[in-house]
């Protein structure tokens, strides 16, 4: 209501800088961010190697079978051991990072780009348009996330684009909801009326006045949703509907792992651990982002 603002001091200047400061104070969030960046680093490194060696390394070490070392336990030579085809698990897991990360993030971004505009329009105009759009979104939400994704993949096939579509459909409805809510909160501020009073049209108001101020909840949802998305990719792959073997997506590795769980614990534990770490890292980052952007916590 009446924040005690000290007269014209420039401590943290732009709203962005303020949020950054707030974020950096949160140790867990920073740890999450660092982990996420590491994962990105790994993924990028593997892509670079593949490009540089023209997939030679990939074929030799990831795909090529070596039945001599079948189900080998972790050792100095094979850090995480070998899988049922004798392939080095450590390298396989590293090479699997890019699938989880990019498909996971890609699906969320797609949901955002498709869902948020609908939500913004629904929130801004209200009335019948709002009803129409949101009831449509309700229909999407009524179908369980996983089943919907499975159905789409089953119908369209297991290529990467199809996987992205399957994973993003449910997300569209969630982002529409959040975008709508955040637009509705910002819409009632007087500065929006002020924009209208100086002659701004709807498009200008939505893009320059509402969007920048309604961004935060959407960003938070992105970072929190990535964790879930990664699990979804792994889940579909585990069921055989996602990334197909021999490609080393973490979920795909886990499919075969279950058969050998008794003799070769390492095939389930390590990919699983990476999944857990990745999801937790994104969640911590998302939590930190939300706390940093939440105006109520700003002092």
Partner 1 sequence: MGNDLTEKDGALLEVRNLKKYFDTPRGPLQAVDDVSFSIERGQTLGIVGESGCGKSTLGRTILRLHEATSGEILFEGENILGYNAKRLKKLRTEMQIIFQDPYSSLNPRMTVSQAIAAPLILQGLYRKSDRAGIEARVGELMDLVGLARRFVNSYPHELDGGRRQRIGIARALSLKPKFIVCDEPVSALDVSIQAQVLNLMQDLQAELGLTYMFITHDLSVVKHISDNIVVMYLGQVVERTRPNALFEHPLHPYTKALLSAIPIPDPDVKQEKLILKGEISSPVNMGTVCRFVGRCPNCTEACRTWEYREIEAEPGHFVSCRLYGAQYPDHRKTREEFV
Partner 2 sequence: MSHILEIKGLRVAFHTDDGTVHALNGVDLELGDGETLGLVGETGAGKTTLAKSVMRLIPSPQGVIEAGKILFEGRDILRINISEMRGIRGNRISMIFQDPMSALNPVITIGDQIAEVIRVHQKVSQKEARERALVMLGTVGISADRAGDYPHQFSGGMKQRVVIAIALACNPTLLIADEPTTALDVTIQAQVLEMMANLKKKSGTATILITHDLGIVAQMCESVAILYAGEIVESGTVHDIFKKTLHPYTEGLLAAIPKINENVTRLQPIDGLMPDPTTLSEGCAFHERCTYATDVCRTKRPTLEMAGGRHKVRCFHPIAKGSASHGK
Specify the stretch interacting with partner 2 by CB under 8 A; choose among 6-14, 150-158, 168-176, 285-293.
6-14
Per CB under 8 A, contacts with partner 2 among 17-36 are 21
Q: With binding defined as CB under 8 A, does residue 8 bind partner 1?
A: yes
Q: Which stretch binds partner 1 (CB under 8 A): 154-162, 187-195, 253-261, 267-275?
A: 187-195
Between residues 22 and 218, which has the closer beta carbon with respect to partner 2?
22
Question: Rule CB under 8 A: is residue 195 a binding residue for partner 1?
Answer: yes
Q: Are 291 and 102 in contact (CB under 8 A)?
A: no
Reduced 3-state DSSP string for the chain: CCCCCCCCCCCCCCHHHHHHHHHHHCHHHHHHHHHHHHHHHHHHHHHHHHHHCCCHHHHHHHHCCCHHHCCCCCCCCCCCCECCCCCEHHHHHHHHHHHHHHHHHHHHHHHHHHHHHHHHHHHHHCHHHHHHHHHHHHHHHHCCHHHHHHHHHHHHCCCHHHHHHHHHHHHHHHHHHHHHHHHHHHHCCHHHHHHHHCCCCHHHHHHHHHHHHHHHHHHHHHHHHHHHHHHHHHHHHHCCCCCCCCCCCHHHHHHHHCCCCCCCHHHHHHHHHHHHHHHHHHHHHHHHHHHHHCHHHCC
- Is residue 182 close enough to count as binding partner 1 by CB under 8 A? no
Residue among 119 and 288 whose Cβ is closer to partner 2: 288
The answer to the question of residue 13 lying near partner 2 (CB under 8 A) is no
240 binds partner 1 (CB under 8 A): no
Query: Is 54 near partner 1 (CB under 8 A)?
Result: no
Nearest CA to 248 out of 265, 270, 229 is that of: 270
Of the ranges 82-90, 125-133, 194-202, 236-244, which one interacts with partner 1 (CB under 8 A)?
194-202
- The listed partner (partner 2, partner 1, none) that binds 262, CB under 5 to 8 Å by sort, is none
The region of 89-97, 135-143, 193-201, 285-293 touching partner 1 under the rule CB under 8 A is 193-201
| Residue from 64, 138, 204, 263 binding partner 1 (CB under 8 A) | 204
Task: Select 38 or 297, whichever has its Cβ closest to partner 2.
Answer: 297
Q: For residues 132 and 194, which CB has a smaller minimum distance to partner 1 in the complex? A: 194
Residues that bind partner 2 (CB under 8 A): 1-2, 4, 6-7, 9, 11-12, 21, 299
User: Site residues (CB under 8 A) for partner 1?
Assistant: 2-3, 5-10, 13-15, 189-191, 193-200, 204, 209, 212-213
């Amino acid at each position: 209501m009446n924040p005690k603002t000290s007269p014209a001091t420039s401590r943290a200047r732009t709203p962005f800088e303020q949020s950054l400061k707030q974020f950096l104070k949160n140790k867990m969030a920073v740890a999450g961010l660092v982990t996420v960046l590491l994962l990105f680093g790994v993924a990028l490194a593997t892509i670079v190697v593949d490009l540089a060696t023209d997939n030679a390394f990939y074929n030799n070490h990831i795909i090529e079978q070596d039945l001599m070392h079948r189900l080998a336990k972790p050792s100095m030579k094979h850090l995480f051991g070998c899988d049922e085809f004798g392939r080095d698990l450590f390298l396989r897991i590293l090479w699997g990072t890019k699938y989880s990360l990019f498909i996971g993030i890609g699906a969320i971004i797609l949901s955002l780009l498709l869902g948020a505009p609908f939500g913004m329009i629904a929130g801004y105009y209200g009335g019948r348009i709002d009803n129409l759009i949101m009831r449509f979104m309700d229909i999407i939400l009524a179908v369980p996330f996983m089943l919907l994704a499975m159905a789409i993949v089953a119908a369209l096939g297991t290529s990467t684009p199809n996987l992205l579509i399957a994973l993003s459909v449910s997300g569209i409805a969630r982002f529409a909801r959040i975008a709508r809510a955040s637009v509705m909160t910002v819409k009632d501020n007087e500065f929006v009326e002020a924009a209208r009073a100086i002659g701004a049209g709807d498009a200008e108001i939505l893009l320059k006045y509402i969007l920048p101020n309604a961004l935060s909840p959407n960003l938070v949802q992105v970072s929190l949703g990535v964790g879930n998305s990664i699990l979804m990719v792994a889940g579909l792959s585990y069921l055989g509907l996602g990334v197909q073997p021999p490609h080393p997506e973490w979920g795909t590795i886990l499919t075969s792992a279950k058969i050998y769980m008794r003799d070769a614990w390492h095939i389930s534990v390590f990919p699983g651990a990476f999944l857990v770490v990745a999801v937790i890292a994104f969640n911590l980052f998302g939590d930190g982002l939300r706390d940093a952007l939440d105006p109520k916590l700003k002092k």
